[in-house]
Amino acid sequence: MQKVTLEQAKLHLRVDGAEEDGLITGLIAAAYGAIEGKTFRKVVVALSEEPDPREVPVDGVINSAALLLIGHLYTNRGDTDEELPK
């Protein structure tokens, strides 16, 4: 399974046009970074040949969490005291 794409994130956010593509691409990276920080594992598309317990393959649950975080970060841009969803 692949990580969330720009097109999937834009569909989730209900964003048309390309004006915010750079922002949304950054939010995708930030979402996976937050997931990795909370799980202490690197989210990878495919596991290495030699199993590494510090890696976790991307799946539907991880992508759903990423979309939740992307939506939260997109809605709460700028100076805010909002915490990330748990």
Question: What's the whole-number mean pLDDT along residues 50-79?
Answer: 93
Mean predicted lDDT score pLDDT of the chain: 93
Write the CA distances from 86 to 6, 11, 83, integer angstroms. Answer: 23, 23, 9
Among 19, 40, 30, 39, residue whose Cα is nearest residue 71: 30
Q: Within 13 Å and on the Cβ side, how many CA atoms surround 73? A: 19
The pLDDT, as a whole number, for residue 77 is 86
Token code pair at residue 62:
């991880």
What is the pLDDT, as a whole number, of residue 12?
Answer: 98
Is residue 40's pLDDT more than 70? yes
- Whether the per-residue pLDDT at 86 is higher than 80: the answer is no
List of residues 6+ apart from 66 with CB closer than 8 A: 3, 4, 28, 31, 32, 35
Q: Which amino acid is at 41?
A: R
